[in-house]
Amino acid sequence: MKLNVKALALTSGLIWGFGLFFLTLWIIFFDGASGNVPFIGQIYRGYNISFTGALIGLAWAFFDGAIGGAIFAWLYNLLTGKLKSE
Distance CA 48, CA 34 (A): 9
**Global confidence as pTM:** 0.84
Based on the structure, what is the number of domains in the chain? Answer: 1
Residue 67 lies in a domain: yes
Nearest to 73 by CA among 17, 1, 22, 16: 1
Residue 3 lies in a domain: no
Residue 5 lies in a domain: no
Whether the CB-CB separation of 12 and 69 falls below 8 Å is answered with yes
Residue 86 lies in a domain: no
Per-10-residue mean pLDDT of the chain, 86 residues long, equals 94 97 91 73 86 93 97 94 70
Distance CA 1, CA 13 (A): 22
Residue 85 lies in a domain: no
The parent domain of residue 60 ranges over: 13-79
What is the pLDDT, as a whole number, of residue 7? 97
- Maximum Cα–Cα distance for the chain, whole Å? 57
CB within 8 Å of 72: residues ≥ 6 apart: 8, 12
